[in-house]
Every structure is written in structure tokens, then in C-alpha cells.
Amino acid sequence: MTKRTWAVLAALLVIACVLPFVLSNYRTFQAALVLVYAIALLGLNILTGYNGQISLGHGAFYAIGAYTAAMLMDLAGFPYWATVPVAGAVCLVAGFLFGLPALRLEGLYLALATFALGVSMPQLLKIHQLEKWTGGVQGIVIAKPDAPAFFPSIGLPLNQDQWLYFFILAVTLVMFLLAYNLLHGRVGRALIAIRDQHTAAEVMGINTALYKSLAFGVSALYTGVAGALGAIAVQFVAPDSFNVFLSITFLVGIVVGGLASLPGALYGALFIQFVPNIADEISKAAPWAIFGVFLIAFVYVMPTGVAGAVRILTARRKSP
Amino acid sequence: MTFDALMLQVIAGLATGGIYASLALALVMIYQATHLVNFAQGEMAMFCTYIAWALINAGMPYWGAFVLTVGIAFVFGVLIERLIIRPVENAPVLAVVVVFIGLLVILNSLAGWIFTYTIKSFPSPFGVQPLFGVRFMSPHQLGSIGVTVVVLALLYAFFRFTPLGLAMRAAAQNPESSRLVGIRVGWMLALGWGLAAAVGSIAGMMVAPIVYLDPNMMGGILLYAFAAALLGGIDSPGGAVVGGLVVGVLENVLGAFVIGNELKLVVALVLIIGVLVVRPSGFFGRVHVSRV
């Protein structure tokens, strides 16, 4: 990374830390959700953007992460922060297992299989026999965490929303750092090689089966962590909030933000958090229609997403 | 489980299976022509069914509305291909999938906006009196099986015996050579889309009396149609029909006796993944060999 990128990143971090002190509680909560979505989109981007495997069912992994967190807190009395790594681990295994049959599927077929997963997830969560644990159609309500006592003692009293924001911000930074390292090394190059030239990658000695199912697992891990954080932030999980439209929302996010781009995940997250409000204002009745129009327009006009547009603009400024 | 109860479910399964078969056939037609799976097929059918509902409510007789809706669906399909799909014809798979998904949410949302999300009942043209004293079958089930059979026969005859049908098949199979003998391949694709939309709209009108009319009614049905198309082989029209019937019967019998109605969609999920993993070409599809 260049000096300039570092400067931009540092500035962003400072802004991110100041935000909760200037925004209202509700806006702080929304900002926290943006970070949650950014992690989920990063996960989907690892799979779809970097590895070229299309998933229309990532809402399912988000749901698994959310339910893992909610059930651990509700039934086993876990503290909220301990549920996040567990949710990640559960989703890593779930994603890896789903990735194994997905190995034999390419392009459209994988899209189909994951679409089926996304559509049937709410029904799976409503299974009668598991109602004792999942709460059935009602879902589970969880408590909002308080800031640790340590902060008021150093003269920095944080309210619940602010604390949650900083907690999620910390997790987001760690996840992005890990993803940066993963994708800019040997593994990342292997993933991209598989995406661009599957056969050639295999001939070069890349274990495509392993990398592809690992990509699925890691991608699900990210989305699951996001799901857990999302559940803690919203304090509620229910089957019908994880319908196929959630998966579609994630797809919109990575297409708009920019495929195979780390900052793209953040742009996409901003889009899916705030544009529905704008779309609501354009047309109260059909925000999804506006969403769909954006989706198609981006494919036509800006296939590299916002991240690609930003890249082009900065490149133009550098070479007048 | 008594024999009667089983028969009842099997027949209900065949009736809904026929509907899945029609929608699966629509999917297969588009797949054959363009090697794309149309994720918006279900929502297109749903939207057309709403048009039929509006026409009937405006005082049109059922069959008049039926024919008019099929016509509108055809034009609608052609327009979608010309205006929306054509620009991404040669784009990567992801771009095309994204466009389909965009189309899906637009149609879903528009239907909710224009016709509201309240669930509406949709009339069946086949009355309620049991025909010929048939014990197991409601007239609508019998009627929808009949309509499915007629549609299949018409499509078969069209693709087998008419010059236009042959041209469409040629365009799908070998676009370059077809272009050389003077077939307008682009228009053949558009016609294929129109036909698929028309067949889909019939499936929508046949299923609406059973599942009631609402903007999300096709979500599950599309999934079954996917399962049916894959089971029969995504490039085999005959396979889609067999697959549709099998999926319909499986769904009803398993739903009634084994896993309960709440988990019916999971049957489709398991079928789709099972078929794709065990035998990706389905029962009747061609195995694809690609040259490196």
C-alpha cells in the first residue's frame, strides 16, 4: 500500500471513531449495521468476487450465524462477545460442508443450488421439533449489551449504542485485516487464478477442490460473524427476517460496491443500509423496484461497481 | 396410511406436478435457446396471472381473459428479451444472474405496488361439481391436468412440425449455421422468450386457484420447477415434464405422510442438490463434455 492509502485509511479510522459522539443514537446504530453488512459483503465477495462462485443464498449463513449467537445467549448464557467466534466457527463448518457438493457445480448451477438454500432457509428455521431451541416462528429476543465498567472509570461513559458500535468496529477492523492478508498472498492468488482460468490453475498445481470449498467455508465464516453481530445489534432473530431477499440484498451489495474489492464491501454496505430509505422516498410502495433498477443499471453502466468507478477517478487525477 | 389417502395425494401431486412441468418447460425452453436459467420466470408468471385477475375483475369472461393474458405474456416475454436480456447476452454468468435477479425483484415489487399485497382468490374455470363421479379428483385438478396436456401437445407439434418451430430449434442448437441459412437468430431467441413467458403464464393461472394470488406465490413453485427441470435434465423438454410430475407427486406424498407440510420446500432443496451432485445431467439430459 502506498503512503497515500495509509493516510486515507488513518483518516477514515479517525472519522469512524468520532462518528458515535456526533451522531444520534439511532444514527450510531445504523452506522453499526453498515459495518455488519460490510463484513457480510466481504464474505460474499471472497466467494463470488475473488473465487467466481456465485451464491444467491448467503442469507442462509447470515441466519445460521445470527441463530447461533442468539441461542448461545438465550439458552447457554454465553456473554455476547463469546458468541461471535462460535458463530464464525459453526458457519465455517456449514459453509465448508455446503461447498463440497458445490464443487461439482459451476456458474448457473451453483446459483440455483444456493438460491434453493436461500429460499428454504426460513422453513428450516421454523421446524417444529427444534422449536424449544429456536423459538419457532416467534424467534428469540436477546438483551442489548452494556458497555464494560472500565470505560466510565476512565471518564468515558459510553451508552449501549456507542459501545456496540465500537465493539462491531473492532471486529470489522480485524476481519478486514485478515481478509487483506488472505487475499494478497498465495491463497488470494490461487482463488483468483481459479476464477479466471480454472483448468490452467489446476494444471499449475493448485488444489482447486480444496481452495474452492475453503473459499466457501471462509466466506460463510465472515457472513456468519456478521450474522451474529447483526443479531446482537438488532436484539432479535426470527425466521422470516432471513428470507431470500436478504440473500438478494447481499448480492446487490457486492455488485454495487464492486466485485473483488475490499473497499467495495464498505461502499456496498453503505448502499444497502441507506439506499432503501432513499428508494422509500422515491416510491413508498415499491422500494424493491428501485433496488432492482439500480441492480440492472449497475450491470449495464458500471460493471465494476462503485469501487471500480473510484479507481478510475483516482487514476485519472494522478495522470492528467 | 390407507390406499385411498395415498391415491388422493398422488393425484393431487400429478395435478400440481403438471403445473410444475409447464413452468419447468418454460425454463428448459429458455435454457435451450440461451443456456441461461431464468430466475425471473416465476415472477413473470405471477405478474401475468395478476393481469388475468384484473381482466376477469373488469368483467371479461374467463376464457377470453385467459387467451388475452397468454397473448400479453408472449409480448411481454419478447420485450424483456429485446430490451433487458439482449444487452448482456455475451456478458459473464454473474452479470446475467444479477440481471435476472433484478428483474425478479422489480416484478415482485411492482405487483405488490399495483395490486397490493393482500391475498386474492383466483377463479377456476372448471367448476366445483365432480366430473363423471370421479372420487379422487377435484374438477380443477382434472382441468389443470387437461390444460397441461393440451399445452404440451401444442408445443410438441409446434417444434416438430412447423417451419418456425424448426427454425427456433436450429437457432438454439447451432446459431452460426442457422444464421448462414438465413434464420434470424436474434428474433428466434426473442420468440423463445415469448413462448416461455406464455407457457409460464398458463402455469400461473392454473396454480393460482390452489395457492391463491399474492406477489410471493411463485417463490416456492419456481423452486419446484427448478427441481423438475434439473431432475429431467435441464436441456430435455420431455424430461422437464416427467420431472415435473415426479416432483409434484413426491412433494405431496412426502408432505402428507413423511415430513409434514411445513418442510415441503426442503424437499425441493434436497432434490436440487441431490440431482446436481449425483447426476448433474438429470435423467434425460445430455452429458456435457468440454474441450480444454
Q: Do A291 and B93 touch (CB under 8 A)?
A: no
Query: Measured between CB atoms, does A185 come within 8 Å of chain B?
Result: no
At B113, give phi and psi (nearest 5°): -70, -50
- The three cell numbers locating residue B159: 417444434
Q: Do B276 and A101 touch (CB under 8 A)?
A: yes
* Rounded CA separation A299/B108 (Å): 20
pLDDT at B285: 74
Query: Measured between CB atoms, does A137 come within 8 Å of chain B?
Result: no
Summarize the confidence of residues B149-174 as an average pLDDT: 88
Could you tell me if residue B283 is inside a domain? no
What's the full length of chain B, in residues? 292
* Rounded CA separation A239/B50 (Å): 28
Nearest residue of A to residue B230, measured between CA atoms: A109
What's the full length of chain A, in residues? 320
Residue segments in chain A with a per-residue pLDDT below the cut of 50: none
Option in A108, A124, A296 nearest B84 (CB): A296
From chain B, the residues in CB contact with A283 under 8 A are 113
* Rounded CA separation A224/A90 (Å): 8
* Rounded CA separation A6/A11 (Å): 9
Could you tell me if residue B60 is inside a domain? yes
Got the DSSP string for chain A?
A: --HHHHHHHHHHHHHHHHHHHHS-HHHHHHHHHHHHHHHHHHHHIIIIIIT----S-HHHHHHHHHHHHHHHHHHS---HHHHHHHHHHHHHHHHHHHHHHHTT--HHHHHHHHHHHHHHHHHHHT-GGGHHHH-GGG-EE-PPPPPPTHHHHTT----HHHHHHHHHHHHHHHHHHHHHHHHTSHHHHHHHHHHH-HHHHHHTT--HHHHHHHHHHHHHHHHHHHHHHHHHHHTEE-GGGGSHHHHHHHHHHHHHH-TT-HHHHHHHHHHHHHHHHHHHHH-SS-HHHHHHHHHHHHHHH-TTHHHHHHHHHHHHHH--
Give the tens place of pLDDT for each residue, B44-96: 999 999 999 999 999 889 999 999 999 999 999 999 999 988 888 778 888 88
Percent of chain B topping pLDDT 90:
18
pLDDT at B148: 86
From chain B, the residues in CB contact with A128 under 8 A are 260, 262
Closest CA to A211 of A41, A48, A51: A51
Q: Do B268 and A120 touch (CB under 8 A)?
A: yes
- The three cell numbers locating residue B182: 438465413
Q: What contacts A92, CB < 8 A, 6 or more positions away?
A: A217, A218, A220, A221, A224
DSSP state of B258: I
Nearest residue of A to residue B35, measured between CA atoms: A108
Query: Measured between CB atoms, does B102 come within 8 Å of chain A?
Result: yes
Instruction: Please state, rounded to an integer, the average pLDDT across all residues of chain B.
Output: 85
Indicate the range of A27-41, A241-255, B185-199, B272-286 predicted with least confidence. B272-286
From chain B, the residues in CB contact with A291 under 8 A are 105, 109
Distance from CA of A52 to the nearest CA of B (A): 8
Q: Do B219 and A119 touch (CB under 8 A)?
A: yes
Nearest residue of B to residue A198, measured between CA atoms: B292
Q: Do B272 and A285 touch (CB under 8 A)?
A: no
- Note every long-range contact of A91-94, with CB atoms under 8 Å and residues 24 or more positions apart, other chains counting: A91/A61, A91/A64, A91/A65, A91/A220, A91/A221, A91/A223, A91/A224, A91/A225, A91/A227, A92/A217, A92/A218, A92/A220, A92/A221, A92/A224, A93/A217, A94/A61, A94/A64, A94/A220, A94/A224
Query: Measured between CB atoms, does A291 come within 8 Å of chain B?
Result: yes
Could you tell me if residue B112 is inside a domain? yes
Tally of CB atoms within 10 A around A17: 12
The half-sphere exposure of A274 on its side-chain side, counting CA atoms within 13 A, is 15
Option in A116, A123, A283 nearest B272 (CB): A116
Distance from CA of B18 to the nearest CA of A (A): 21
Give the tens place of pLDDT for each residue, B8-41: 888 888 888 888 998 898 888 888 877 788 889 8
Q: What contacts A213, CB < 8 A, 6 or more positions away?
A: A96, A99, A100, A102, A103
- The three cell numbers locating residue A205: 498445481
User: At CA A197, angle to CA A192 and CA A203, rounded to 5?
Assistant: 105
Could you tell me if residue B65 is inside a domain? yes
Burial class (CB in 10 A: 0-12, 13-18, 19+), B120: middle
Nearest residue of B to residue A117, measured between CA atoms: B269
Summarize the confidence of residues B98-118 as an average pLDDT: 88
State whether residue B158 is helix, strand or coil.
helix
Distance from CA of B267 to the nearest CA of A (A): 9
Q: Number of structural domains, chain B?
A: 1
Q: What is the CATH number of the domain that holds B15?
A: 1.10.3470
pLDDT at A84: 93
Residue B68, CA distances (Å) to A85, B5, B107, B109, B290 in order: 57, 38, 20, 23, 43
- The three cell numbers locating residue A51: 473465487
Domain extent for B207: 3-278
Nearest residue of B to residue A123, measured between CA atoms: B263
- The three cell numbers locating residue A315: 487514476
pLDDT at A291: 80
Got the DSSP string for B90-136?
A: TS-HHHHHHHHHHHHHHHHHHHHHHH-SS-B----TT-SSPGGG-SS
Question: pLDDT band at B120, cuts 50/70/90?
Answer: confident
A-B interface: how many C-beta pairs under 8 angstroms? 129
State whether residue B213 is helix, strand or coil.
strand
Query: Measured between CB atoms, does A108 come within 8 Å of chain B?
Result: yes
CB B81 within 8 A of CB B44: no
Option in A101, A108, A283 nearest B273 (CB): A101
Alpha helical stretches, state H, chain B: 3-34, 41-57, 62-80, 93-115, 139-161, 163-173, 175-180, 185-211, 218-232, 237-253, 264-278
CB A143 within 8 A of CB A235: yes
Q: Do B105 and A295 touch (CB under 8 A)?
A: yes
Burial class (CB in 10 A: 0-12, 13-18, 19+), B197: buried
CB B70 within 8 A of CB B51: no
CB A36 within 8 A of CB A272: no
Hey, what amino acid is at A254?
I
- The three cell numbers locating residue A307: 469501487
- The three cell numbers locating residue B100: 435476472
Nearest residue of A to residue B31, measured between CA atoms: A108
Instruction: Please state, rounded to an integer, the average pLDDT across all residues of chain A.
Output: 87
State whether residue B4 is helix, strand or coil.
helix
Distance from CA of B171 to the nearest CA of A (A): 22
Option in B84, B106, B227 nearest A289 (CB): B106
Model-level pTM?
A: 0.88
Q: Do B95 and A127 touch (CB under 8 A)?
A: no
Tally of CB atoms within 10 A around B243: 34
Say if residue B131's pLDDT is above 60: no
CB A76 within 8 A of CB A212: no
pLDDT at A280: 73
pLDDT at A18: 86
Option in A54, A126, A285 nearest B97 (CB): A54
Residue A280, CA distances (Å) to A255, A284, A287 in order: 21, 5, 5
CB A73 within 8 A of CB A222: no
